[in-house]
Structure 1
Amino acid sequence: MRFDNHISPQDLQPAIDRFWAISGQKINDLNQNYDSAQGSPVFTVKGKYTTRGWTEWTQGFQYGSEILQYDASDDVSFLEMGKKNTIDKMAPHVTHFGVHDHGFNNVSTYGNLLRLMNEGRIAENLWERNFYEMALKASGAVQARRWTTLPNGGYVYSFNGPHSLFADTIRSLRALAVSHQLGHSFMHENDAEVSLLTRLIQHAKATADYSVYYGEGRDAYDIRGRTAHESIFNLNDGNFRCPNSQQGFSPFTTWTRGLAWIMVGSAEQLEFLQTIDDSEFESEGGRIAVEGFLVKMARASCDFFIKHSAADGIPYWDTGAPNLHKLGTDYLDRPADPFNEFEPVDSSAAAIGAQGLIRLGCYLNDQDSAVGERYMQAGLTVLKTLLEEPYLSTDPSHQGLILHSVYHRPNGWDHIPDGQSVPCGESSMWGDYHARELALLVDRIANDKTYLKFFL
């Protein structure tokens, strides 16, 4: 990636304003024309949202987008839309024991509504507050129950089963964090009380230890910042067995959306942990140790993203994809080409990863302003690219907001348009949501408003 130190959040304000105007049109189109009976919208095919999922993991992004649109625009119609859809349709996600996606679905909906009330952006209403808080308390406990114990900790296991740790899940730690802040805990057999904060920290540590590489000789492919989508464990003794990948090219290459989840998940947990008293870290080795492994993970993954993305900040879908060499040895030295013949880009990884870069930059700014600014500029570079064509979807007949997202390249689920040889031109619900979250974060920074955070 190429970037300088001359982009300010204020420089992007006109493009962000245009983005929100387009976003509102897309949300209204989806709300009015999508048939929810077919399931949650996942990605577009020929510009229309359709469903194709392993689980209903994108519904919270759909309704969360409505709430973010209100946040950015003050248009009450989007608030009412988001409230109604959350109340009518999100309850099954609160008690869904079969997934690792509670931070995606429930913090994006109930969590955003509670945040707006805490910020004074929507009227205080005790019944509503209690409703949102109860949903978030339950969601955190349900997520924490999905637990595999390791000799020195454990992790929230993926929908593949107890042997499986996903890179994605570090962002579902949001659910545990908010539930803990609300004074909740997970009650186990015989009324044993389990700390949600402890499980949050232990899952983050497992991710740092097994999902991220640091160039320290772990294996023959140990490159600093590289990540594995899935880590496999022997449930008989808790030993790590091997890396794996569900949606990337291989266990020994980096699927860039998994990388991006780790970037933003580790950075926002560093922000959250600033609200926790030092005494609560004692059982996990103390604050310095916990923040130390999170900073190491965040910086390694963000540095890898910067090094392995194209000049404009857009990554290809996997940094080891087999046909990247056909793009030429200099393919990272020029802007990404979403219409190339060999490998797709993934704009959703860019939208997710950029937020991680900016949050890490803000976190590190007080410690080392030059280091913090480097990550900030990288994140703003990505956002600047996403706010313009060919990534911003300006065609009102296309229901997606951010183009050139990829869902599952190995399974061949992504639409390939006529005349193209790789997927391009389509959007995803997670890519659109995270572009909105990213734009709102920078919008608030630009206007010196309350810093956007998921926690209380």
Structure 2
Amino acid sequence: MMYSLKWGVASLFIFVGTIANAQNEKHPSRKSLLETVEKRIKESASQYTFLMQELKPDRFPVTYYEDKGQLVTSGSEPWVGGFYPGGLLYLYELTGDTLLYQEALRKMDVLKKEQFNITTHDLGFMMYCSFGNAKRLEPKPAYDSILVNSARSLASRFNPKVGCLRSWDSDSSQFMVIIDNMVNLELLFAATKMTGDSSFYKIAVEHANTTMKHHFRPDYSSHHLVIYNPGNGEVRKKQTVQGASDSSAWARGQAWGLYGYTVMYRETGDPLYLEQANRIGQFILNHPHLPADGIPYWDFDAEDIPAAPRDASAGAVICSALLELSGYVEQPLSEIYLKAAEKMLQSLTSPTYFSDYGKNGGFLLRHGVGNYPRHADIDVPLIYADYYFIESMARYKRMNARY
């Protein structure tokens, strides 16, 4: 069912009034924020130069445990592998520092074998954030081949009876789909553009439609996980595994939904996806538990708010998505989204979240939350938080080039 955006605009004005009046927060001027962003871009490049010296050649950064002085790394196979080279490529684009570019190429040489990995749904994160950015900066046939092979591997996980790509393989009798998978669809659209094969495009659209139908609640918050019957596509269960409860709004899950449906609108032009992105954005920005600085708690329904940990990774994803979404809607909604993103970016570039050189294990942002229910990676840096933060800075700089 389509809803009028007029009602959404009115509701979003409530958010703007709350931030500007009840919280008495002064909004940064665009020129001032851009100057801060330029400064943080240069500092980010220096920080990553420090980080690369801490890494072994075949390892990828994941997080850092300050209390132990421990840099946590992985091989190329986990879902986070593409964020480090992707962030390096953005920083190279922004600074011209070829040292960052060469490091990205070295890591992608390790990562490229994952193009044939059919055991994961995260190939969009892994391969598009890395090789997709590399192709954008310097198109090469080798990048096309890697991206298309990666898309084929991802497409092999599609079940037409369910209408989705499988996320988790832990139980073959259950077809598990998580909201995160929306962000992997961008890889499939890229494959259709490169090959002319519309099957990738159709899989992405069907996955998005099925997810839109079953993952979202009436208020446009999202479950984390929906479990389907693989034989007939019936919904068996809805859960929020990484959230506070099955009925709660896990912050990064809401961020993935916002980002994913914004991409869906960009790639298809279908107003249904723009409407979905707007409704998710409205849920986030109007939520009474969204802090004044725009960086959400790890779950919007966490029991210990306001003492609950913030999640800079969710904030960075939301910020990047809102910057893009602001370009697809008319005024005054465009300005509302842009101001909300600017508030988030102002916070992420502040000393509260942004690290000094050589601190935080070489990561950029503090205060991320990985998996709170499992007591894993709480109030630590996260490589995917860094990636979407860098992307946010890149998008903001591009939008404000006139300054």
1:23 aligns with 2:52: no
SS in 1 for 2:326: helix
Quote the offset at 1:404 in angstroms: 0.2
Query: Which residue in the other structure is 1:294 paired with?
Result: 273
What is the CA–CA distance in structure 2 between the aligned matches of 1:146 and 1:184, rounded to whole Å?
20
1:181 aligns with 2:200: no
1:306 aligns with 2:285: yes
Query: Which residue in the other structure is 1:409 paired with?
Result: 372
Q: 1:146 aligns with which of 157, 166, 172?
A: 157
Quote the offset at 1:235 in angstroms: 2.1
Aligned residues: 374
Q: TM-score, normalised to structure 1's length?
A: 0.77
What is the CA–CA distance in structure 1 between the aligned matches of 2:77 and 2:98, rounded to whole Å?
31
Q: 2:216 aligns with which of 212, 227, 236?
A: 212
Quote the offset at 1:183 in angstroms: 1.5
Q: 1:196 aligns with which of 171, 176, 200?
A: 200
AA at the equivalent of 1:166: I
Quote the offset at 1:92 in angstroms: 2.1
Q: 1:396 aligns with which of 334, 339, 358?
A: 358
Provide the identity percentage: 24
What is the CA–CA distance in structure 2 between the aligned matches of 1:95 and 1:64, rounded to whole Å?
19
Quote the offset at 1:374 in angstroms: 1.1
Query: Which runs of at least 4 in structure 1 moved beyond 6 Å after TM superposition?
Result: none
What is the CA–CA distance in structure 1 between the aligned matches of 2:275 and 2:398, rounded to whole Å?
27
1:260 aligns with 2:255: yes
Q: 1:14 aligns with which of 27, 35, 44?
A: 35
Unaligned runs of 5+ in 2: 1-14, 21-25
What is the CA–CA distance in structure 1 between the aligned matches of 2:100 and 2:333, rounded to whole Å?
38
What is the CA–CA distance in structure 2 between the aligned matches of 1:138 and 1:159, rounded to whole Å?
20
1:375 aligns with 2:375: no
Quote the offset at 1:236 in angstroms: 3.1
Q: TM-score, normalised to structure 2's length?
A: 0.87
Quote the offset at 1:7 in angstroms: 5.0
Quote the offset at 1:447 in angstroms: 0.6
Query: Which residue in the other structure is 1:251 paired with?
Result: 246
Unaligned runs of 5+ in 1: 119-128, 186-193, 216-223, 275-290, 328-339, 415-422, 450-456
What is the CA–CA distance in structure 2 between the aligned matches of 1:136 and 1:33, rounded to whole Å?
29
AA at the equivalent of 2:340: A
Supply the RMSD in Å over aligned alpha carbons.
2.2
What is the CA–CA distance in structure 1 between the aligned matches of 2:31 and 2:114, rounded to whole Å?
37
Q: 1:384 aligns with which of 323, 336, 346?
A: 346
1:336-355 per-residue CA deviation (whole Å, 9 max, x = no partner) reads xxxx4xx2110100000111
What is the CA–CA distance in structure 2 between the aligned matches of 1:179 and 1:345, rounded to whole Å?
36
AA at the equivalent of 2:372: R
Query: Which residue in the other structure is 1:41 paired with?
Result: 61
SS in 1 for 2:205: helix
What is the CA–CA distance in structure 2 between the aligned matches of 1:58 and 1:140, rounded to whole Å?
17
Asked if structure 1 preserves the Cα contact closer than 8 Å seen for 2:312 and 2:385, the reply is: yes
1:96 aligns with 2:108: no
Asked if structure 1 preserves the Cα contact closer than 8 Å seen for 2:250 and 2:299, the reply is: yes
Quote the offset at 1:6 in angstroms: 5.9
Q: For the structure 1 residues 54 and 318, does the alpha-carbon distance in structure 2 shift closer, same or farther, using more than 3 Å as the test?
A: farther
SS in 2 for 1:362: coil
Aligned pairs for 1:426-445 (under 5 A) are: 426-445=380-399
SS in 2 for 1:311: coil
Query: Which residue in the other structure is 2:8 paired with?
Result: none
What is the CA–CA distance in structure 2 between the aligned matches of 1:29 and 1:40, rounded to whole Å?
14
1:229-251 per-residue CA deviation (whole Å, 9 max, x = no partner) reads 11111223211122112211222
Asked if structure 2 preserves the Cα contact closer than 8 Å seen for 1:68 and 1:440, the reply is: yes
1:106 aligns with 2:127: yes
What is the CA–CA distance in structure 1 between the aligned matches of 2:248 and 2:207, rounded to whole Å?
22
Quote the offset at 1:383 in angstroms: 0.8
Q: For the structure 1 residues 357 and 140, does the alpha-carbon distance in structure 2 shift closer, same or farther, using more than 3 Å as the test?
A: same
1:67 aligns with 2:89: yes
Query: Which residue in the other structure is 2:300 paired with?
Result: 319
What is the CA–CA distance in structure 2 between the aligned matches of 1:69 and 1:252, rounded to whole Å?
39
Query: Which residue in the other structure is 1:227 paired with?
Result: 222
AA at the equivalent of 1:116: L
Quote the offset at 1:48 in angstroms: 4.6
Query: Which residue in the other structure is 1:164 paired with?
Result: 176
Q: 2:144 aligns with which of 111, 133, 136?
A: 133
Asked if structure 1 preserves the Cα contact closer than 8 Å seen for 2:182 and 2:256, the reply is: yes
Asked if structure 2 preserves the Cα contact closer than 8 Å seen for 1:156 and 1:203, the reply is: yes
Asked if structure 2 preserves the Cα contact closer than 8 Å seen for 1:231 and 1:242, the reply is: yes
Q: For the structure 1 residues 229 and 107, does the alpha-carbon distance in structure 2 shift closer, same or farther, using more than 3 Å as the test?
A: same
1:352 aligns with 2:372: no
AA at the equivalent of 1:434: Y
Quote the offset at 1:115 in angstroms: 0.6
What is the CA–CA distance in structure 2 between the aligned matches of 1:8 and 1:149, rounded to whole Å?
49
1:367-417 per-residue CA deviation (whole Å, 9 max, x = no partner) reads x21112211211111111111020111252322201100001111112xxx
Asked if structure 2 preserves the Cα contact closer than 8 Å seen for 1:43 and 1:52, the reply is: no
Asked if structure 1 preserves the Cα contact closer than 8 Å seen for 2:295 and 2:312, the reply is: yes
What is the CA–CA distance in structure 1 between the aligned matches of 2:169 and 2:79, rounded to whole Å?
14
What is the CA–CA distance in structure 1 between the aligned matches of 2:56 and 2:285, rounded to whole Å?
39
1:258-288 per-residue CA deviation (whole Å, 9 max, x = no partner) reads 11011111112211224xxxxxxxxxxxxxx
Asked if structure 2 preserves the Cα contact closer than 8 Å seen for 1:102 and 1:143, the reply is: yes
Q: For the structure 1 residues 139 and 52, does the alpha-carbon distance in structure 2 shift closer, same or farther, using more than 3 Å as the test?
A: closer
Q: For the structure 1 residues 155 and 112, does the alpha-carbon distance in structure 2 shift closer, same or farther, using more than 3 Å as the test?
A: same
1:174-222 per-residue CA deviation (whole Å, 9 max, x = no partner) reads 110111100254xxxxxxxx71111010111112111222x3xxxxxxx
Quote the offset at 1:52 in angstroms: 7.2
Q: For the structure 1 residues 258 and 446, does the alpha-carbon distance in structure 2 shift closer, same or farther, using more than 3 Å as the test?
A: same
AA at the equivalent of 1:133: D
What is the CA–CA distance in structure 1 between the aligned matches of 2:340 and 2:184, rounded to whole Å?
25
AA at the equivalent of 2:176: S
Q: For the structure 1 residues 175 and 7, does the alpha-carbon distance in structure 2 shift closer, same or farther, using more than 3 Å as the test?
A: same
SS in 2 for 1:237: coil
